[in-house]
């Protein structure tokens, strides 16, 4: 690891993360690995700033649009999603196209059908992606929260569960 980048890396960590005084070795150190040991609410505040979980996800009204992830995706996690809805209140149903991370660390296109369910007492809110629209959901992400426009007409960002940590997808207007 380039030790000149370590001060920059440490500035990106939440203030509550305590690092021990052991000397650094040559193993790769990432912000995700260091933040992994903190509680979930701290991770949520770090990776999805401004998302209020208390508001929940009662409806997906205004979901249609394009969203871009802040940060690089893990394998099979979305980087960019364009969602077209046929229904959006309270459940959202439609099609999607976008880019997702690969095991090689690159981005690959994918498309298919999706379904998003609002808050459910048994599991919470979730977004299922059916790549190829073959009837089976290939990826499911819990919707940890969302943010709406000032008027409430559109969703401006989604906080989704990821393999390593939550991630934020924000609406792109281009």
Work out the average pLDDT over 36-48: 83
Claim to verify: residue 14 and residue 64 sit in the same structural domain: no
What is the predicted pLDDT for the residue at 37?
64
Clarify whether residues 32 and 78 are in a common domain.
no
168 forms beta bridges with 159
- The total domain count for the chain is 2
Same domain, 87 and 19: no
pLDDT confidence bin for 174, thresholds 50/70/90: low
Q: Phi first, then psi: give them for residue 95, nearest 5 degrees.
A: -120, 160
User: C-alpha dihedral over 82, 80, 10, 5, to 10 degrees?
Assistant: -150
Domain shared by 103 and 167, yes or no = yes
Give the range of the structural domain holding residue 32, as residue numbers without chain letter: 3-38
Whether residues 146 and 95 fall in one domain:
yes
Cα 72–chain centre separation: 10
**What integer pLDDT is reported at residue 36 of this predicted model?**
53
- Judge whether 44 lies within some domain: no
- pLDDT(47) > 70: yes
34, 57: one domain: no
Q: What is the pLDDT of residues 85-140, one digit of tens each?
A: 999 999 999 999 999 999 999 999 999 999 999 998 888 999 999 998 888 899 99
User: Does residue 46 lie within any of the structural domains?
Assistant: no
Residue 33 has pLDDT above 60, yes or no: no
pLDDT at position 38 is: 75
Domain for residue 26, yes or no?
Answer: yes
């Amino acid at each position: 690891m380039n030790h000149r980048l370590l001060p920059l890396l440490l500035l990106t960590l939440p203030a509550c993360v305590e690092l021990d005084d052991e000397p650094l070795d040559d193993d790769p150190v990432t912000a995700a690995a260091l933040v992994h040991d903190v509680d979930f609410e701290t991770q949520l505040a770090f990776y999805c700033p401004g998302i209020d979980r208390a508001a929940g996800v009662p409806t997906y009204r205004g979901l249609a649009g394009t969203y871009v992830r802040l940060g690089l995706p893990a394998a099979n996690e979305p980087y960019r999603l364009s969602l077209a809805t046929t229904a959006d209140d309270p459940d959202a149903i439609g099609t999607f196209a976008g880019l997702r991370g690969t095991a090689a660390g690159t981005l690959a296109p994918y498309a298919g059908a999706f379904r998003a369910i609002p808050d459910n007492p048994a599991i919470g809110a979730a977004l299922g992606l059916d790549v190829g629209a073959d009837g089976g959901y290939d990826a499911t992400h819990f919707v940890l929260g969302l943010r709406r426009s000032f008027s409430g007409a559109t969703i401006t960002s989604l906080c989704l569960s990821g393999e390593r940590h939550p991630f934020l997808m924000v609406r792109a207007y281009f």
